[in-house]
Structures are given as C-alpha cells and as structure tokens.
Structure 1
Amino acid sequence: MFKLNGGLAQTQNEPCEVIVSQFSESKQEIRSIIIDSEPWFVAKDVCDTLGHTNPSVAIKMLDDDERGKKSLGRQGMAWVVNESGLYALILRSNKPYARQFRKWITSEVLPSLRKRGHYSVNKAKNDDYVDARNVPYGWTEMNGFRVRTVTIDGQDWFSINDINRALHSATGSYQLARKLNAVETLAAKIFIFGNTYPAWFANKKGLSLILSGSRKNTTQLDESQLCLPFGGGE
C-alpha cells in the first residue's frame, strides 16, 4: 500500500485508466491517471519534458505525499506525482518553455481532467491528425490481441497502442512514432470513431519494423489474416 492525497490509501497493483495528453511545444506525451477525482501524472513523462535527466533523483526530492507508485496496467508500475509534486518539478526545470508548460497544465489539462477525465482535443488543429471518424475500422489479431486497423486512401494503418499491448511493450506511442518517422512517414495520428482523442497508427511498413524489432513477436504479417472493416471493429 502507499498513500496519496494526504493519507488516502490506494493499492499499488490496482490499475487505472491511462489518459494521454500531448504538450505541443515539445510534442511529448504526458500520461496521467485519475485517483479519487484527482489527477496524477507519470513522473518520467514530466521529467523528460522538463529536462530532468535523472527522474529517480528528481522524484526523491519530493515529499512522500506528492509521489507514489501505481500500476498502469500492461505498461507496468510507474512513479506518479500529484499536482503539488508536478509544480515542484516545474519550478526546478531550466527548460525555456517550463512556464508555458505550467500554464498549459493549469489552464487546460487540469480543469479538463477533473471535469471529464481526459484532455479535450476540441482545440487541436485539424492538420495535426487525420479525422477518420466517418471511416469504419476493422482489426487484425496479433499474439492473441486485437489490433485496430483503418484503411485511408487505400493504405492500411494499425493502432500503435494496440501493437504495444500485443507485444507487452512499455514504449510510448509517440516515442515509437517518432522513431518510425525519422526517415520517412511511417506513422500518423488518426482520430477514429469511438476514440476520445486522436492516436498514433503505423502503416504496413511501420508495423513490419515494429515487429522485426520486438523479441516478443510471434506473428508474421499476413494480409490474409487481416479483418477488413465490419470484420470486428469495436
């Protein structure tokens, strides 16, 4: 057990829904969870954004009631910090956009997280993602897991979040997408029907690269195994 919010006990291994926001200045994904209506942020994501090169040291400098370990489901255990701990990390940052990050957190992310449990994408620019909410999606099976796939302009795209679940990978979808797009565009942010925000998808070449780089993959990419739209989309 560990204590959050001034003494409220929470079970470490009880997983919470992971909510993902993206800070536009650094393009870094910030994962958060809601515990008793209060937001907690994944410390590593915050430290990476704010330039704290040693998250373990940064976390140790926080008070006990500002930090804790929590299960993120298949992403494993992670250190999380509450609002007070988040502000402490911001104050210790030397990044030029630290003040902008704080204003983004306080004026947009925190109010929206408390109100609806996720960061609204209503303000997102349409050119930041492909809006495919009117395109039916299907799925393909990978290592016993369903991976959502959507076809846009004749090209198939596969959910990176679902791929990570199938491969039991803790790598963030943005980090993986950035690697895929280092040479050519193999990943894109797509807003599909039923989602609350756009998410990263990889095309077939990107999927093949992800599979070839994973030791836990037991699936060979076979088009005959792909389920087309209306073939099981949830």
Structure 2
Amino acid sequence: MELTPFTFDGNAVRVITDEHGEPRFVASDVAKILGYRDAEKMTRRLPVEDRGTRSVGTPGGEQDMTVITEPGLYIAIFGSQVEGAERFKRWIATEVLPAIRKTGGYQVAAALPQDFPSALRALADTAESLAAEQAARAIEAPKAQAWEDFLSANGDYSVNQSAKVLSRRAGTIIGETRLWKWLAEHKWTYRDHSGQRAYQKRIDTGHLVEKSHAPYTDPHTGEEKVRGVQVRITPKGLERLDRGLSGQFELDIEGVA
C-alpha cells in the first residue's frame, strides 16, 4: 500500500493506492473537509463495501486507517452541506484522480528536462493536460450540476458502482440487481453464453461500453482463455439514467440524449 499526501486548502488529504492501483481516501481527512462531525458519522452512511481499514506504513510505524473507496467518496460529497464541497469534488475529479491514474502518485513538481527530446515530451504532456482541463470545464459549465464534475472526468463505471451513485441521486435504493433488470428490460443489455453483453445501439450512442476481462490460464489444460467482457456505464449513460429516475425510472429509450 502506497500512501500519497495531498493538500486541499491547507488540509491534508491522504490517499492510499492499493495493489490494483485503486485509490482509498483516509476517512478522517475527508470528513474534516466535508464538515462531518467525525469520520464514523460519515462512514456509517456508506455501503459496507465502500469503507474499511488499511494498514499503512507511516513515519511513526504501521497504522490501521479507516478509508473509503472512490464511490464512497462521491456519496460522502453528495451528503455534505458545506460550501466547499463542490470545489473539493472538482479538485478530486480534475486533478487528484487523473494524476494518480496517470502516474501512480501525485506529482507536486516535475523535474526539469535534461535534453531536447525530454523537453518536447514535457511540452506534449503539458498540452495534453491543458486540453483535458479545458474539455472538462466545457462540459461542466452548461450542466450546472455538481455531480457532473466527476462524471465528466472519470471514465466509465461498473453496474454496481452506477447503482450506488444513482441510488443517492434518486433518493431510493436501486441496487445492482434492479439496475441489471432494468437495463435488460429496456434493451440496453442482454445475456448470451458468455454473460452480460451490451446492445450495439447503446455502445454506438455512447451509453455503454464493453471491456475485456484479463485472460487467465486454465489450470487443467494450460490454455490461455478469456472470461468474456464486462459491461460498463459511461458518464453519458449515467446522465441519461439519472434523468429517467426522476420520472419513476421510466425512459423513452428510443430517443437519444
């Protein structure tokens, strides 16, 4: 477990990156920024799978820290009433998470390039970062909804993660099973011999994507096999589902947002 220190408005925000490269946020740091009385009050509102403890090496030795997942962080932000919650979420979405996923850590200052090729690469990286930031702002401005800030910055989501976020938005528990059922009934997904699949129409409209699972070796034959694909919901798909939830989970599925 790697612990990376961040600073938001003078407050420490410690992020633990697990063996799969996924971030875990130290709950006490998040609770302080979001105005919760304490970390326990914040984390008890979260699903069990989105909170836990991690043992981390610190200058004072190994410590068990209460941490929350990325979906858990979003739920905590949605429940916060402090004025700075919006800005905190935007900072997480546009600066912290992209830095972790690109480099495995938060780089406060980059080393100066030592030669011309290195300088060109650094310039290209800077231009890419600026373009991404401008694109994120262009998406955020017209929507005027806080939750769109992180949706526009963080790629796609599993059906399980999407159900948690949509549940908070709708004010009722949707659950992964119910969401899968709805997706099948409304011709977003179907099941074949390999498992759950996305209809091509929903891929073409940008609501869903399919991602391949990592291959594995059959212990009996030694052959390398593929487990199939995972259906994931895009930010555009989440936005459309969120609009549908406000109408008692009914959508005009023929229309395209």
Q: Do Structure 1 and Structure 2 share a fold, with TM-score over 0.5?
A: no
Q: Which of the pair is proportionally richer in strand?
A: 1
Give the TM-score normalised by the residue count of structure 2. 0.40
Q: Which of the pair is proportionally richer in helix?
A: 2
If asked which structure has higher relative contact order (CA below 8 Å, sep 6+), I would say 1
Say which one has the larger Rg. Answer: 2
Give the TM-score normalised by the residue count of structure 1. 0.43
